[in-house]
Amino acid sequence: MKKKRRKAQWIFLVMLLLVWLLCSAEAWAGALSDRLGQFPNWHTKPPVQPAEGDLFYPDWFLGTWDVETTLVDLAAPLAPEIITPGFDSNRDFLNQPVPFQARFVEKSGSGRSSFFPVERVKPSSTNAPIIADRAFNGL
């Protein structure tokens, strides 16, 4: 009898914990929904922390990729008071595919470098984090 009661208490506690976790998610999203509701009357920056360090990518990102992007829309929510330089000339790029290359390297510096772009003979087994090659990708 005591074991059944103990089991029922555990089940109740687990269910209570699940309800608490599932119902508290709405409060976490409140800041974003409030911010979107205030658009376009934004007078302050959003309450976020600045990023620190590199963004790490999965191992399969390693190497040089052929990429294609297409601009499908232009928007200037603050126009006509504020229009960024080059906004009007970007209309020429609407619905036009733009091919480019992107490179991802190991953070340790081994592997391909934008200054000496030679393929490695065999993959590294150092498990170094994969990061974007900023020098190559920024061209």
Summarize pLDDT for 29-51 with one digit per residue, the tens. Answer: 567 777 778 887 788 777 778 88
pLDDT at 68: 97
Q: 69 and 25, same structural domain?
A: no
In a domain, 123, yes or no: yes
How would residue 71 be classed by pLDDT, with cut points 50, 70 and 90? very high
Q: 69 and 6, same structural domain?
A: no
> Which domain does 129 fall in, by range?
59-137
In a domain, 50, yes or no: no
3-class DSSP state of 102: strand
pTM for the complete prediction?
Answer: 0.51
Averaged pLDDT, 8-20: 81
pLDDT at 121: 44
Gap between the Cα atoms of 21 and 24, Å rounded = 5
Task: Identify which of 123, 126, 137, 134 has the alpha carbon closest to the alpha carbon of residue 54.
Answer: 134
